[in-house]
Amino acid sequence: MSARTFQPDRMAGYTLPVYQARTPPEIARGEQALYPVIVVGAGLGGLTAALELGERGVRTVLLDEDDTVGAAGLSSRGICYAKRSLEIFDRFGVAERVRAKGVTWNEGDVYAGLERMYRFNLQPERDQKYPAFVNLQQFYVEQYLVERIMRTPAVDLRWKNRVVDVRPGPDGVEVEVECPDGRYRARCQWLLGADGAHSVVREKLGAKDAESALSEDQWCITDIRMSPSAEVVRKAYVDNPLNAGGAIWYHQMADGIWRTDWQVSQYPDPARETEPGRVTERLKKLLGPDVPFELVWVGPWRFRRRYLERMRHGRVLFLGDAAAQHSPFGARGGNRAIQDANNLAWKLALVLEGKAHEDLIETYDSERGFAARENVEHASRAATFIGPQTHGERLVRNAILDLARADPAMRPLVNVGRLSVATEYADSPLNLERGAPLEAPLAAPGCAAPDGRLGEGYFVDRLQGQFSVAWFGGEAPAPRGAQAIAVPRAGNEALFARYGVPPEGATYVFRPDGHVLARCRGIDPGLAREAIDGVLGYRAGAARRAPPAARAPGRLSPLEADRLYDAFAALLDGSAPEERERTLARLAVLLAGELGDYAKVLAAIDAAADSDRMRAPSGRRE
């Protein structure tokens, strides 16, 4: 451990568990089995994948080079578990443990300098089973998954088993493994590389990144113990003068532990800022000199922006950090890994059972490859907004903050981390929509199933890892291998509105991972059969079965807003200083002409001239 960090493996009331390594059967008895699946890496993605597969009866070996959970001692690492992840964990009884131990939150405060600009609410709806987020240290979540796997007979979890070589073949993969009892070889039909940012599987295969770059921005994580707050709100500061103009994040976790993240690139010696003494000085400035606290864990971090060209390489599939890396802004890393596993496991199980063609695995590459790219872009653009590097970036960022202070309509342009939500597979070839689209864009094919009350329970309770057909306003038998869910209108009006159900009712078909597969107006058993048969019989290159859902006109998506931020900044940075005012004037005139609404243009001019909205953040040193 570096003298400049503080990374213990225990604290008052908790010590990281140590799991016993067992002699593998390949060494103990000379067995040479062909396993259906071997998963490399027992982090969030690998554990979830092994559990999903094991619960479907797929014999799975899970290899991990360590003998405990988490990483680098008691580091909180991934702490924000999104609603979608909790819904995935729900089937295994893990979600309730996470919620019971962790800290629930839906709201956050955004500060510029020391001024609180506004508070956001990620989930104003009160009829959801799970909140927007539960904060809990990653080692706890991994421990709960391990304990659940230990009760899953189909999964063989092997600690202190390090993969040292990978040999792919046309019908399977062989791995060479080093363990305390020696070396052995194991063969499998499918290998899942979930072994993190420094993936051995990726290295041995020579899997290529589509993009890779190491950020120059440097941060320091500091976990502290102090009294919990009754008000559970995530706080995000940009340009904070208490941190030499850098950003600060902090919010609560379990056990009275708080996670704080400090941007330290702006200091003359960023490495020195991870020393416990310097960390303590900064915390006293933020919290006040009389607030008692105790350091639990301190460590530096930087992030890499990268993602693989392909998630699938023959019989080898990548997930989690082995497939992509990005900044932690938006809590996207661990949640993405969990969704990767959720997307892949049901498809792989169907293929191994002989119920679906192997080409179905190609949709894992297309759907989760898109998710990797989308998450990398979201997280990277947040990093630019939080720490602008050029004059143009800073000028446009500050203009957005100016307007967001007073105008709620401008607040979606503020990007202090687009927080993790379920990926929408809008372009999936599996999607099917028949007839006129239903007026429910959040329940379009490819979207994760919206939740809501259903009788005395919740709609997501009924989606238990299998094909499901929901008959809204009617009843009919489900196709073979699927379950039917009859949803009466009486008492479920809010759910009907969420799914855009017309007077004649609606048919919705859901995939085993809980995403909408197909929908139509009316009660249509034929649609359900066609949708499910289309999955089981899928062939690579098949034509799309549904157009992407139309977005409400006049609204920018978060990515479009962030891309415009980059475009405006590039315009300013590409203009000579003496030409910038004229460039902005030309842009304003052009946009006014495109808007074509005299009253709206005048209102925009008034808003831009409002001095109350034009106070620049004071913390950052120019």
Domain boundaries defined on the chain: 18-79+137-212+308-355, 388-420+555-613, 432-536
Task: Find the helix or strand (DSSP H, E) in which 594 lies.
Answer: helix 580-595
Annotate 292-359 with DSSP letters as a single string: --EEEEEEEE--EEEEES-SEETTEEE-GGGTEE--STTS-HHHHHHHHHHHHHHHHHHHHTTSS-GG
- Residue 373 CB neighbours (<10 A): 15
Task: Find the helix or strand (DSSP H, E) in which 198 lies.
Answer: none
Q: Give how far Cα 334 sits from Cα of 194, 298, 377, 620, Å.
A: 12, 20, 16, 31
CATH class of 18-79+137-212+308-355: alpha beta
Mean pLDDT, consecutive 10-residue stretches, the chain (622 aa), reads 60 86 96 96 98 98 95 80 97 97 95 94 93 95 98 98 96 97 98 97 97 89 90 94 95 93 94 94 94 92 92 97 92 94 98 97 97 92 90 92 88 90 94 95 97 96 96 95 96 97 98 98 97 96 69 75 90 90 88 86 82 47 38
Tell the residue number behind the tokens 């809990």, with chain if given: 136
CATH topology classification for 432-536: Glutaredoxin (3.40.30)
**432-536 matches 18-79+137-212+308-355 in CATH topology:** no
Residue 78 contacts residue 333 (beta carbons within 8 Å):
yes
- At 261 the three-state DSSP class reads strand
Residue 263 contacts residue 247 (beta carbons within 8 Å):
yes
Annotate 414-477 with DSSP letters as a single string: --S-----PPP-TT-TT-EEESSPPS-GGGSTTSBPPP-EETTEEGGGG--SSEEEEEETS--P
